[in-house]
Amino acid sequence: MLPEDQRDRLKTDHIEVVLVSPRNPLNIGAAARAMANFGFARLTVVAPYEPHWREAKSAVGAEKLLENARLSPSLAASVAASTLVVGTGTVERRKPEQTVVALPDLAPLIREELERGGRLSLVFGPEKHGLTRDDLALCHLLVEIPTDPEQPSMNLGQAVAVCLYELSSRLSSRTQAPAHLSSAAPTAAARPVSAHLDMLAEVIQQTMVASRYSPSTMAAANAQDLRLLLRRLALNDGDARRILGLFRRILWRLRHEGSVNRNHEK
C-alpha cells in the first residue's frame, strides 16, 4: 500500500484548478504559488487577457507549475474530462441555480468523487465579475467562501489559496459530508464526464427543435438550461449513455419521418 502522503498526492493529481479569463498575470502567478504551497499541480488557464502570463514574477517557487499549465480556449473544453465541476463565488449578488456548498463542507464531497475514480475541476472566475451564468451552467456545485458581508469579494490569488488550504487540510480527514449534500456512496457508479453531459444537452436541444417543441432561436437559452438540469440530476455514466441513445433514436426518427413526409408532399 502507498504511504499516506503519496495517496494524498494521487488525490490532488485528479484535481484541476481552472482560472477563467484572468486579467492580471500577477494573480495567475499568485494562484500557482498557492497551488505549490498546498500540493496541487494541475492548472488550466482559460482565455487569459495577458499573453505573457507564464512569466508572472509572483509565481515564486511555482515557475515550473506555471510553465506546465494548460491553456484552454473555453471553460467547456477545459472541464470536458471532469466528472465533478465546482464553481467558486459569492451569492451576494446572484441567485444560484445549483446546490451551494459552504467551503468547509466541500472536502468530503470531493473525497467521495475521487474515491470512485472521478476527476474534479475547481473553477475561479475573472477578477472583475466572477463566473457568468454560462460558466456556472457547466458547474455541478457552487462553493461559497465565507467572507464578511461588508466585503464579500476576494482577490483571485487569495481565493485560490483559501480554497486549497481548506481542501489540503481536510481531504485526508474521514469527516462525512452532510446527508443533504452527499453525492453518493464511494461505491456508487461513476458520473459522466462533463463533455458527455454537454453532448446529451445538445442532442436533447436538437430533438426539441425537430419536434417543434422549441424554436431554433431558443437554442442558446435551452442549451444553458439543459446543462444546468443535467448536472442537478446527478446521473451516473451508464444512465447518461442510455438517455443519449434514446434521444438520438428519437431525433433520427423525427428527422427521417420529416424527410419522408416532405418527399410525399412533392
Which pLDDT tens digit goes with each residue over 188-245? Answer: 678 999 999 999 999 999 999 999 998 888 888 899 999 999 999 989 999 999 999 9
- Write out the residue range of the structural domain in which residue 217 sits: 194-265
Q: Left (φ > 0), alpha (ψ -120 to 50) or beta: where does 48 sit?
A: beta
CATH assignment at residue 66? 3.40.1280.10
Q: 113 and 24 in one domain?
A: yes
pLDDT of 1: 37
Q: Is residue 209 part of a domain?
A: yes
208 and 105 housed in the same domain: no
Q: Is 45:19 a contact under the CB 8 Å cutoff? A: yes
Q: Phi then psi for 30, rounded to 5 degrees?
A: -65, -40
Grid coordinates given for 152: 464579500
Assigned domain for 207 exists: yes
pLDDT value at residue 11: 63
Record the pTM. Answer: 0.85
Rounded to an integer, what distance in angstroms lies between the CA atom of residue 21 and that of residue 141? Answer: 20
Number of domains in the chain: 2
Whether pLDDT at 42 is above 60: yes
Residue 9 — very low, low, confident or very high, per pLDDT cuts 50/70/90?
Answer: low
pLDDT above 60 (res 264)? no
* Domain stop point among 127, 154, 170: 170
Residue 183 has pLDDT above 60, yes or no: no
Asked whether residue 203 falls in the same domain as residue 252, the answer is yes
Q: Under 8 Å CB-to-CB from 101, ≥6 apart: which residues?
A: 86, 109, 141, 142, 143, 144, 181
The predicted pLDDT at position 176 comes to: 59
Q: Which three cell numbers stand for residue 141?
A: 456545485
Cell numbers standing for residue 199: 453532448
Same domain for 216 and 155? no
Write down the pLDDT at residue 3. 46
pLDDT in tens, 142-164: 998 888 877 877 899 999 999 99
Average per-residue pLDDT in the chain?
86
Angle (nearest 5°) at CA 62 between 130 and 125: 5
Rounded CA separation 209/133 (Å): 23
The pLDDT of 15-22, averaged and rounded, is: 96
